[in-house]
Amino acid sequence: MTVGSPTKLILAFSLPLLIGNFFQQAFVLVDSAVVGRMIGAEALAAVGATGKMMFLIIGFSWGATAGLAIPISNAFGAGNMAAVRRYVGASAVVAGLIAILITAIGVIFGPSLLVAINTPPELFEMAKQYQTIMFSAASLTVAYNWFSSTVRAVGDSKTPLYFLIFSSILNAGLSVLFVGSFGFQVAGVAFATIITQAIALVACVIYVRRKMAEIFPSQREFRDSLRHLWEPARIGLPMGFQASVIGIGTTLMQAAINQIGTDAVAAATVAARIEGLAMMPLGTLGVAMATFVAQNYGAKAYQRIRSGVLSMSIISMAAGVLLGAVLYIFSDQMISIFLSAPNAAVVELVHAHFRIGGIWYFALGMIFIMRNAIQGLGTATIPTISGFVELAVRAISALFFVGTFGWSAVIWGLPMGWTLGAALCTVAWFVHRKRLIGLQKDQKDEKDQQDQTAPTERMVSETELAIAA
C-alpha cells in the first residue's frame, strides 16, 4: 500500500474487508433471526441481553488483535521481513495470553455480570446458558481475529474474506439445523457458532501456513521474539482497553435498558443488529486506514499518509450521511427480518432510535478514520482517551437520565459520545499531521544535503584517481 493512489488503494483494500465484515455480521444476524423467528421475542431479548456485556470482554480481543498487527504493518512497509516474523511471533504470544484471560473472566464472572446489569428474571437462564457456551470458546474468536489481523497487516484482505464467507454459510446452516430440527433453543445457536469458528480457524491456519510461510518465524526466531513482546503489547493492549471502555458504556446502557422492560431490551437488540450492518462500511474504512498509515509510516511516505487521511475523511462522512438516510427510510423492512410478528411497541422504539441516531453517523465515520489513522502511527493514547469520553457520555446517560427520560436518553447517549470522541480524535490528528509535515521537511533537507555533497565526493574521487595515475 506504499505505491499508487492512496484513495484507490484504501478503497480496493476495503472492499474485501467490507464483504468480510458483512459475512461476519451475518453470524450475529443469523443467530438473532433464527432465535427471534423460530423461538420468540423473549429468546431474542435473552441473547440480546448478553450481547453488550460479551462485547465488553470479547471486544477487547478485537481491538487488541488489530493493535498487535500495527508493528507488523510498520515492518512490512519498511521491507524488513526479519522484523515482520519477529512481531508475528511476539503478537501470537500476547494473543494467547489474552485468550486465556478472556475465557477465565467470562466463564467465572459471566453470571454475576448478568445480575449486575439487571437482566430481567424471565430472561436470565437463557441468557446465562448462551453466554457461558460462548465464553467457553472465546479462545477460538481470539485466534481467528489474530490470524485475520496478521494477514491483513501484510496487505492481504482477501484471504480472511474467503474463510468468513465459508464460515458464515456454515453457521447459518447449523443454526437452522440445531434450533429448527433438533430443538436445541438458544444453546443450539451458540454451539453452531462455536463449531463454525473451530472449522474456519483450522482451515485458515493450514492455508496461511502453506501460502504465507515467509511471515511466520522459525523456532529460533520465535524464541528471539519473546524478548520483543512489549512492542505489539504497547499498541495492542491500549486498543483492547479502548474497545472494552466502549463496552463498559454499552453495558451500563444495557443495564438501564433492562430496567425499562422486555420491549426495550428487544428493541435495543434489533436496533443494535441493524446498526451493526450500518457501521460495517465505516469500520471497514477505518481498518483499511490503519493498515495504510502503518505501512506508509514504515516506508516514511509521510505525504501519502496525509493525502489518504484527507480523502477518506470526506468519503467516510459522506457514507455516514447516506447510511443514516437508508436506516431511516427502510427501518420497517429491517425490523421484519428479526421478528415474524413485530410488537408495535418494539417497532416504535426502533423507529425512534434511527430517527435520531441516523443523523449523527457522519461523526461515527470521522471517529473510525481519525482514530485508526492515529493508531496506524503507533500511538494509542488519544484514541483510548476518546473511548473514555464516549464511556463518560454513555454512563451519564444511563445512570442519570434513562430513569427520567427513558428511551430518549438511550437514543441520545450514542451520538453525543460519537461527536465528542470525533472532535477529540480530529484535534489529535492535526497535531500528528503537523509532526508528519516536519518529518517530511527533515527528509527533504537530508536528501538535498546528500545531493549537494555527491558532486563534491565525485570531484575528490576524480582528483585522487588523477594523482594516482
**What would the pLDDT profile of 347-402 be if each residue is shown by its tens digit?**
888 888 888 877 888 888 898 899 989 988 888 788 888 878 887 887 888 778 88
Do residues 253 and 394 make contact, with C-beta atoms less than 8 angstroms apart?
yes
The overall average pLDDT reported for the chain is: 82
Q: Is residue 420 part of a domain?
A: yes
Which residues, in sequence order, are CB contacts of 57 under 8 Å at separation 6+? 102, 105, 106, 135, 138, 244, 247
Q: Please, what sign has the CA dihedral across residues 236, 241, 242, 247?
A: positive
Residues 84-113 pLDDT 10s? 999 999 999 999 998 898 888 888 888 888
What is the tens place of the pLDDT at every residue in 233-277?
888 888 787 777 666 776 777 778 877 877 888 888 778 777 777
Count of the separate structural domains present in the chain: 1
What is the number of residues in the chain?
469
pTM score over 0.95: no
Grid coordinates given for 122: 424471565
Print the domain residue range for 208.
6-468
**Environment class of residue 46 by beta-carbon count within 10 Å: exposed (0-12), middle (13-18) or buried (19+)?**
buried
> Degrees (nearest 5) of the Cα angle 121, 124, 125?
125
Stretch 129-141: mean pLDDT: 86
In a domain, 1, yes or no: no
Nearest to 352 by CA among 322, 331, 326, 338: 331
* Residue found by looking up cell 443488529 in the block: 273
Residue type at position 18: L
Summarised one tens digit per residue, pLDDT across range 18-75 is: 777 677 666 666 777 777 777 777 777 777 777 666 766 667 787 788 888 888 988 8
Evaluate whether residue 274 is within a structural domain. Answer: yes
Whether the CA torsion 364, 365, 367, 368 is positive or negative: it is: positive
Q: What is the pLDDT of residue 370?
A: 93
Q: Between these two residues, 395 and 146, which has the higher pLDDT value?
A: 146
Phi, psi of 343 (to 5 degrees): -75, 130
